[in-house]
Amino acid sequence: MKKIGLIFDLDGVIVDTAIYHYKAWKTIADELGFDFSLLQNEQLKGVSRMESLDRLLGFGGIKNLTDEEKLKLAERKNKLYVSFISKLTPEAVLPGVDQFMNSLAFENVGVALGSASKNAMTILKQIEYIDVFNAVIDGTKVKRSKPDPEVFLKAAAELDIDAENCIVFEDAEAGIKAAKLAGMKAIGVGDEQILKEANLIIPGFENFDFETCKRQFNL
Ligand code: B16
Ligand code: MG
């Protein structure tokens, strides 16, 4: 078997921080006086902080804010978000993820993180996952938001594995698109309706190990 690159998104795949992003943006929407639904939140997943803010303001029909005002809102959202994630512990790792990672021992794989978040390192420390990855590409290392493939291409480059031999695990529509644009296979983790462009969709990592993954992709 060729060496395979496994690239994991963070929020919503390894740990359920997606709900904290939602809560923090919802507070901002409440303060600005408009509704923000879980369905609308799907369009913010995997997207950078400033792009997320632009989309949120679009939902609220709020225009003409200065760059400074937008930066203040993004900073406030991040403070709220950081206050949530500062309480994370290893117990926040989603069901089955530890077991899946353990199933990689002795396999010919490189393991990378491919996250849009600038808070990724804080989260990895909180959940004690720093040593799990051979490469970490996060929001501090990329210029373009998913669906741009930059984050995954950088992860593959750092693993020194060709894109065609990489598999991406993603919970966001934008992330699945990014994986496909990178020329990688995509496993959607979560909702079938939202992730329908993925090569394979799993509800989560429970009952999913690397043997199953190899069978699915004839590795
Ligand atoms: P931050 P992922 C993404 O992380 C989140 O899905 C997205 O909702 C968030 O806006 C983005 O990170 C930026 O996060 O504000 O912490 O830099 O899913 O790519 O791991
Ligand atoms: Mg995600």
Given a cut of 90, is residue 141 above it in pLDDT? Answer: yes
Task: With CA atoms as reference, report the closest residue to 47 among 166, 181, 176.
Answer: 176
3-state SS, residue 88? coil
Q: Which residues partner with 189 through β-bridges? A: 202
> According to the model, what pLDDT value does residue 187 have?
98
The closest-lying atom of ligand 1 relative to the alpha carbon of residue 21 is: 8
Q: Which of 15, 52, 117, 195 to mutate to test the pocket of ligand 1 (most atoms within 8 A of CB)?
A: 117
> pLDDT confidence of 219, banded at 50, 70, 90?
confident
We find that the CATH architecture of domain 4-15+91-217 is 3-Layer(aba) Sandwich (3.40)
Q: Ligand 2 centroid to 13 CA: how many Å?
A: 6
Single-letter code of the amino acid located at 131: D
Q: What is the DSSP letter of 172?
A: S
Q: Does domain 18-85 have CATH number 3.40.50.2300?
A: no
> According to the model, what pLDDT value does residue 164 have?
96
Identify the residue whose C-alpha is closest to ligand 1 atom 16: 117
Within 13 Å and on the Cβ side, how many CA atoms surround 114? 38
Ligand with smallest separation from the Cα of 178: 1
> According to the model, what pLDDT value does residue 203 have?
96
Residues 6+ apart with CB under 8 A from 154: 114, 137, 141, 142
Q: Tell me the pLDDT tens digit for each residue of 19-49.
A: 999 999 999 999 999 999 999 999 999 899 9
Residues lining ion ligand 2 (Cβ < 5 A) are 9, 11-12, 171-172
Task: With CA atoms as reference, report the closest residue to 88 among 137, 133, 125, 139.
Answer: 125
d(CA 118, CA 211): 32
What is this structure's pTM? 0.93
Identify the residue whose C-alpha is closest to ligand 1 atom 14: 117
Given a cut of 90, is residue 1 above it in pLDDT? Answer: no
Q: Tell me the pLDDT tens digit for each residue of 99-129.
A: 999 999 999 999 999 999 999 999 999 999 9
**What residues does each domain of the chain span?**
4-15+91-217, 18-85
Q: Ligand 1 centroid to 165 CA: how many Å?
A: 25
Q: Ligand 2 centroid to 35 CA: how many Å?
A: 22
Catalytic site includes residue 131: no
> According to the model, what pLDDT value does residue 120 have?
97
The closest-lying atom of ligand 1 relative to the alpha carbon of residue 175 is: 19
Ligand with smallest separation from the Cα of 118: 1
> According to the model, what pLDDT value does residue 180 have?
98
Ranges 12-21, 26-35, 179-188: which has the least confidence: 12-21
Q: Tell me the pLDDT tens digit for each residue of 188-202.
A: 999 999 899 999 999
Q: Tell me the pLDDT tens digit for each residue of 50-107.
A: 999 999 999 999 999 999 999 999 999 999 999 999 999 999 999 999 999 999 999 9
Catalytic site includes residue 67: no
